Structure 1
């Protein structure tokens, strides 16, 4: 790897170890083995590099989500029960959330910075539609290219809202996280009027 790639990898490590706001240029240099001047040369500033680091880290994490298992035992997408698939995929996502807490903490930290950091907000906003499209593809078991733009906008926003909420919840109450089946049951109640009564 060259200095540019080394810096990005170093920034991604710092993101997990120190967080977004607490990482300094010297931290990145120490983690990457590059020199201080190379940050400005390759990225313009430490902040620009950190924005790239959060985007790259998120894309890598999302790529792992796209490899989440499908419901059933090799059935075609049309044969699988949608709620079963919903539950199985969420179980895989929730497992990653539970085991990658440093990444989740960095994501939640960045969310809190968005209102006061226009450049960060713009960078995250640019990749948000693609993320929604990817989530729809995962949950529907189709390639990204088959996701309708309107579905990506509406359904993708639903999945992103649920994912963001679960990330925050995992930091607040990690021992009270729902399972994929819990989420499917909640969705069934919302959409079909299934009532969960006290026992």
Structure 2
């Protein structure tokens, strides 16, 4: 027997699909409702607004990605393999990354969203530090979060933007590592 999801769950699933296919700004109320097979009014009823639905769906997609990458980025695979995996993910999932950039832009105009984004970013720094330090997330020293986690997230964001804007000339994992070594020598 196949169980059917309710309208709320159908909308959430539709929002994820629309974000990946159309992006944040181009996912209209009509797109969301028709993809979910529900009335447009269901968005307001279940989520309050299109933006609240899209925000929840995008944060869920990013959490799912973070969880999957946490499993893929095993510390014993090495830093080089981690960068190879990240760059592969940027190329394989451009819709997710474009939607996340759109989220950052939306957050500049919405203080409540900026708070959510700040929480998500803090979680990302902690997760990256945990992966790189080979410790459980709850045991990461705050200094590692503020240094290793922060710098890794900054590097990831920059490389992701380059992969989206100029994929032909975006750095490879080998180039990222070579650049880090050169920067370390300067420091």
Picking from 57, 60, 63, the partner of 1:59 is 63
Greater CA drift, 51-60 or 174-183? 174-183
Match of residue 90 from structure 2: 97
Match of residue 114 from structure 2: 121
Give 3-state SS (helix, strand or coil) of 1:116's partner: coil
1:143 matched to 2:136? The reply is yes
- Shift of residue 71 of structure 1? 6.2
Match of residue 43 from structure 2: 39
The alignment covers a number of residue pairs equal to: 183
Q: Which digits, 9 at most, give the CA deviation of each residue in 1:18-76, with x for residues without a partner?
A: 21122111211111123323222221111111111111111111112112244667xxx
Match of residue 109 from structure 1: 102
CA–CA separation in structure 1 for the residues paired with 2:28 and 2:75: 44
Greater CA drift, 158-167 or 117-126? 117-126
> Which consecutive residues of structure 2, in runs of 5 or more, have no partner in the other structure?
none
Q: Which digits, 9 at most, give the CA deviation of each residue in 1:137-176, with x for residues without a partner?
A: 2223332122122322332221111111111101221112
Greater CA drift, 49-58 or 35-44? 35-44
Give 3-state SS (helix, strand or coil) of 2:71's partner: coil
Match of residue 79 from structure 1: none
Return the TM-score normalized by structure 2. 0.87
CA–CA separation in structure 2 for the residues paired with 1:44 and 1:69: 37
Match of residue 11 from structure 1: 15
Return the TM-score normalized by structure 1. 0.82
> Which consecutive residues of structure 1, in runs of 5 or more, have no partner in the other structure?
74-84, 195-199
Q: For the aligned residues, what is the CA RMSD?
A: 2.0
Consecutive aligned runs of 4 or more in structure 1 exceeding 6 Å deviation: none
Q: 1:168 to 1:36 in 2, by over 3 A?
A: same
